[in-house]
Amino acid sequence: MPDTTPDSSRPAGAPSPDALSRTLARHPRPLGGDPLKRVDAPILSLSNMVLNNAGESKQQLSLKKKPAWLRAKVPGGPGYTRLKSILSENKVYTVCEEANCPNMGECWSRGVATIMILGDTCTRSCGLCNVKTGRPAMLDKDEPSRVAESLHLMWQGAGLKHIVITSVNRDELSDGGAGIWAETIIRSREACPGMSIEVLIPDFEGNWPALQMVIDAKPHIINHNLETVRRMYPAVRPSAKFDRSVELLRRVKEQGGVAKTGIMVGIGEKDEEVLALMDEVQNGARTKKASGIGRQASGEQENTEDSADILTIGQYLQPTRNHLPIDRWVTPEQFVFFKEQGLARGFKVVESGALVRSSYHADHQADVLSEVGAERAKHAAR
């Protein structure tokens, strides 16, 4: 029989022991995953930074005022207007709009947009991300076809040149969603010949056969963001591993792919740690195999040593008061320094600036480093 005995020590509205047991039975794994089961011993303690919201007065972190240089242009122009109209008419939702990206106007004018697949609920809870965490909905196996149809409308009607496809983490799936990823890439290439496709993928929890499905689908750029320096992982990416992410980039390069990664600064890292990250990525992703996607386009010789191609660095902006606080505003001069150091350390393209995000100038990166230029010329000749 259920325990209905009143318990004066239990707060009003709190579940009974039986109710709690039933809930735990339905959810044996904490929603959003269990970071403590997935990471190494923490390098730093955040105990003295925890807010106390148990009392009457709630503690919140104050949002820092943005400096003068951190101002985005108001979206506009014929390219932006045309793409926005098609998106609205066909009820296509982009990450650009949902995240209120500061570069939306510029990117849309260039024919660049970002969409998200595999739902809107993530199985992880990163300290800098505003995507909701929880138990995702049932896998939508028709999504690849719908995405391809939507992209075709944008490509044909608004001159979409480059699409960035990203997703939430789906750790509850045996392949992490890789099957949907691969089919989406293949169908999108068929629907939009000459359009470059960049994928911003999760780490698939180190499931390398799942990653191989994505590589085999042949997107023009494979992006996996490190997000922050190694020391900050327990606070920023508690369910991820720095070395696992670097290994993912290495596997992309091993098969001749164009490998891209990105980080946000101003979240607690030090300048020397950013430089160390550049070295760790270049050394960890280095491979001797250089044949495959993008090598012919860039004119590189076969069998030369190669490593990660693209690095993006942008200013962290705190999404809400419940997310990790901004530690500092990185100056424009410092972003220039990061770009110079990234290029000197072997990255072929470095986009570094306060408003830089993963998709910033992504079409140009595809033109320079992949074979998409030849594909566009072939399609135009038909």
pLDDT tens readout for residues 355-378 = 998 888 888 899 889 887 777 767
Cβ atoms of 136 and 117 closer than 8 Å: no
Residue 184 lies in a domain: yes
pTM for the whole thing? 0.78
Supply 142's token pair: 């028709």
Q: What is the dihedral of CA 243, 121, 182, 212, to 10 degrees?
A: 20
Residue 263: how many CB atoms within 10 A of its CB? 24
Answer whether residue 296 shows pLDDT above 50: no
Q: Binning pLDDT at 50, 70 and 90, where does residue 44 land?
A: low
Residue 344 lies in a domain: yes
pLDDT tens readout for residues 111-121 = 888 888 998 88
* Overall average pLDDT of the 123-130 stretch: 81
Residue 332 lies in a domain: yes
How big is the CA angle at 158 (ends 164 and 116), to the nearest 5 degrees?
Answer: 25
CATH number, domain containing residue 302: 3.20.20.70
The reported pLDDT for the residue numbered 6 is 54
Residue 228 lies in a domain: yes
Residue 230: how many CB atoms within 10 A of its CB? 16
* Overall average pLDDT of the 122-141 stretch: 84
**Which residue ranges are tagged as binding site for [4Fe-4S] cluster?**
96, 101, 107, 122, 126, 129, 359
Answer whether residue 27 shows pLDDT above 60: no
3-state helix, strand, coil in the chain (%, to 5): 40, 10, 50
3-class secondary-structure state, position 290: coil
C-alpha span between 382 and 376 (Å, rounded): 10
The reported pLDDT for the residue numbered 47 is 58
Cα diameter, the chain: 80
Residue 21 lies in a domain: no
The reported pLDDT for the residue numbered 107 is 82
The average confidence (pLDDT) of the chain is 82
Residue 248 lies in a domain: yes
Q: Which residue has the higher pLDDT, 91 or 294?
A: 91
Print the domain residue range for 83.
78-380
The reported pLDDT for the residue numbered 208 is 97
**Which residue ranges are tagged as binding site?**
96, 101, 107, 122, 126, 129, 359
* Overall average pLDDT of the 322-335 stretch: 92
Residue 44 lies in a domain: no
- Counting the structural domains of the chain, the total is 1
Residue 52 lies in a domain: no
The reported pLDDT for the residue numbered 176 is 95
